[in-house]
Amino acid sequence: MNPMIRKELRQRMRERRGWILPSLYLVVLGAVVAFAYFLTTLDRGKAIVQGSTVGVVMFLTIAYAQLALLLLMAPIFSAGSITIEKEQKTMSALLTSLLTSEQIWWGKFVSSLLFVLLLLVTSLPVLSMAFAFGGIGPWEVFSATITTVIILAFMNSIGLFCSSAFRRSIHATAVSYATVVALGVVTAILFFVRLQLYESGVAHASTGSWESIPLDIRVPMYLNPFFFLTSSFAPPRQLYPAWTTCAGVYLGFGVLAVALTLRNLRRSRDV
């Protein structure tokens, strides 16, 4: 095993947040699920709530809630991975060790991603509760989990880039959170504002399907993690073009972030 991974994992699991964060994560996720179940099964006169309806609502609530929580937690573990070495004056010793820049990045990336994936795994039993009510199959759970892993890997690569570009953890963390807000909120605002302007145009154009929306209006949503997750709920044959395009965009920007991080590490080694 990469010695950097072993060292980082031991250090993270010995910290107090190693057990506090998973506990808080499950408490918040459980509260959200209980609230969604209460609203779904609330007595509305003589209306009978189907079990499949409860299952679908619980699944969607858990999927979106866990993605939002993990996006808030991902910068905590990745944005300070390299800056903490600079603040503790151990960066020089790390760069002059036998580890290459690629091994340093890989160790920091895997250790930060594994802890976030630990939170994701702990929520899988809660996510699988939807099976008890019906309306959800194994494919939906599998595709939502894989999509969430891709998003978290991308955010970890962005956090490591910020960590390599700044000297203090507070600055790297702030930029990482700004990236999360830009991807999750700003892209949605741009899309809906431009879509509203397009539909209220002179021709009074109406958008019946996703493909009928002009590409320049759709582009911001391909960066939105919640749209990426939403597109994963489609059947396997309907993953193209929305899901595959989002996956390609996230993969491309993730590779770019990795290349820039390695460049910063090599520059620090040369200095």
Longest dimension (CA), the chain: 74
Distances (CA, A) of 149 to 36, 108, 237: 24, 17, 21
> Which residues of the chain are modeled with pLDDT < 50?
none
User: Can you give the pLDDT at residue 176?
Assistant: 96
Sign of CA dihedral 37, 39, 40, 46: positive
User: Can you give the pLDDT at residue 45?
Assistant: 53
Q: How many CB atoms lie within 10 A of CB 199?
A: 13
User: Can you give the pLDDT at residue 146?
Assistant: 96
User: Can you give the pLDDT at residue 47?
Assistant: 61
User: Can you give the pLDDT at residue 213?
Assistant: 86
Per-domain boundaries in the chain: 3-270
82-120 pLDDT, tens digit per residue, is 999 999 888 888 888 888 999 999 999 999 999 899 889
User: Can you give the pLDDT at residue 124?
Assistant: 80
